[in-house]
Amino acid sequence: MTDLLAGLQEAWVRQAPLFLSGLWITLQLLVVSTAIGLVLAVPVALARVSPRRVLSVPATAYAYLFRGTPLLVQIFIIYYGLPQFDAVRGSVLWPLLRDPMPCALLAFSLNMSAYTGEVIRGGILAVPAGEREAAMAVGMPRGLMLRRIILPRALRIALPALSNEVVLQLKATSLASTVTLIDLTGVGRRLAAKTYTTEGLFVAGAIYIALTFLVARGFRLLESRFAAFQRP
* pLDDT at 33 (0 to 100): 95
Q: Which residue has the higher pLDDT, 122 or 202?
A: 122
Buried b or exposed e, range 71-108, using 16+ CB within 10 angstroms: beebbbebbeebeeeeeeeeeeeeeebeebbbbbbbbb
* pLDDT at 13 (0 to 100): 58
Q: Is 22 exposed, middle or buried (0-12, 13-18, 19+ CB in 10 A)?
A: buried
CA distances (Å), 166 to each of 3, 73, 159, 193, in order?
34, 20, 10, 30
Q: Which residue has the higher pLDDT, 126 or 95?
A: 126
* pLDDT at 129 (0 to 100): 82
Q: Give the chain's domain count.
A: 1
CA separation for the pair 25, 15 (Å, rounded): 16
Task: List, for residues 79-103, the tens digit of each pLDDT value.
Answer: 998 888 888 788 887 888 888 999 9
Q: Is 184 exposed, middle or buried (0-12, 13-18, 19+ CB in 10 A)?
A: buried
> Is residue 232's pLDDT more than 50?
no
Task: Report if pTM > 0.75.
Answer: yes
> Is residue 197's pLDDT more than 90?
no
Q: Which residue has the higher pLDDT, 136 or 52?
A: 52
* pLDDT at 8 (0 to 100): 52
Task: List, for residues 8-61, the tens digit of each pLDDT value.
Answer: 555 555 677 888 889 999 999 999 999 999 999 999 999 999 889 999 999 999
CATH of the domain at 186: 1.10.3720.10
Among the listed ranges 4-8, 64-68, 196-200, which one has the minimum average pLDDT value?
A: 4-8
CA separation for the pair 184, 26 (Å, rounded): 6
* pLDDT at 60 (0 to 100): 94
In which domain, by residue range, is 86 found? Answer: 2-230
Task: List, for residues 167-192, the tens digit of each pLDDT value.
Answer: 999 999 999 999 888 888 988 888 87
